[in-house]
């Protein structure tokens, strides 16, 4: 049912926004306590947490959360925060591996939802295939004015795939290893600046969904 999908997205994103912030906090305090550099990890972890929060805010522009859902979100934070914190203190690599598997679940969820939205005759196709993308999503992902909600879902799917790969990579590294994703952040920032300067939009998902050519 559509209501179940809405509930799953809200709970999933509120849940997924916790680990990155908790990990960044512990690394921040460690850097201050030890008077040493963090080697770029904090930025990536905070970016992950902020990105998950934007997923949640985007979903909240499309559908509402009832009292039960709000209680589950609060409960998830109460349980997730000390769990991730304790795990990160004892074994940071295990925490990142756990988050990597959590993101794999999110990837499967989004892949299935996108498939349902693009498959004629399904309840999600009838409800969301022509649903316009909310303005907050158009601004954040630099989508075109004609973008649909399914294009937003594809952007969120791509984000989750990136978080999955980042956390599985961090799980194999020592805490003092340099962050290999620093240059990727710089490249993404440069690409975003160019899109802004040229007045262009991202073409992620739009070509197939909207029948337009990528810019």
Summarised one tens digit per residue, pLDDT across range 91-117 is 999 999 999 999 999 999 999 999 999
pLDDT at residue number 212: 43
pLDDT at residue number 204: 57
From the list 50, 80, 160, 47, the residue with the least C-alpha distance to 113 is: 160
pLDDT at residue number 214: 41
Q: Environment class of residue 190 by beta-carbon count within 10 Å: exposed (0-12), middle (13-18) or buried (19+)?
A: exposed
How far apart are the C-alpha atoms of 130 and 80, rounded to whole Å?
35
How far apart are the C-alpha atoms of 150 and 206, rounded to whole Å?
9
pTM: 0.85
- pLDDT band with cut points at 50, 70 and 90 for residue 123: very high
Summarised one tens digit per residue, pLDDT across range 172-209 is 999 889 999 887 766 776 777 677 777 766 655 444 44
What rounded mean pLDDT belongs to the chain? Answer: 88
């Amino acid at each position: 049912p559509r209501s179940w999908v809405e509930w799953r997205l809200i709970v999933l994103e509120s849940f997924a926004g916790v680990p990155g912030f908790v990990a960044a906090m512990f690394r921040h305090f460690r850097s201050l306590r030890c008077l040493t550099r963090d080697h770029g990890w904090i930025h990536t972890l905070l970016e992950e947490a902020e990105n998950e929060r934007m997923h949640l805010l985007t979903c909240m522009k499309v559908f509402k959360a009832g009292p039960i859902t709000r209680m589950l979100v609060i409960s998830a934070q109460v349980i997730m925060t000390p769990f991730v914190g304790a795990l990160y203190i004892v074994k940071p690599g295990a925490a990142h591996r756990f988050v990597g598997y959590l993101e794999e679940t999110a990837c499967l969820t989004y892949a299935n939802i996108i498939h349902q939205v693009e498959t004629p005759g399904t309840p999600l196709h009838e409800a969301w295939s022509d649903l316009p993308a909310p303005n907050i999503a158009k601004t954040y992902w630099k989508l075109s004015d004609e973008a649909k909600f399914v294009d937003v879902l594809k952007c969120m799917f791509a984000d989750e795939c990136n978080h999955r790969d980042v956390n599985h990579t961090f799980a194999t590294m020592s805490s003092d290893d340099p962050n290999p994703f620093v240059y990727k952040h710089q490249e993404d920032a440069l690409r975003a600046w160019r899109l802004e300067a040229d007045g262009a939009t991202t073409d992620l998902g739009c070509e197939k969904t909207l029948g337009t050519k990528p810019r």
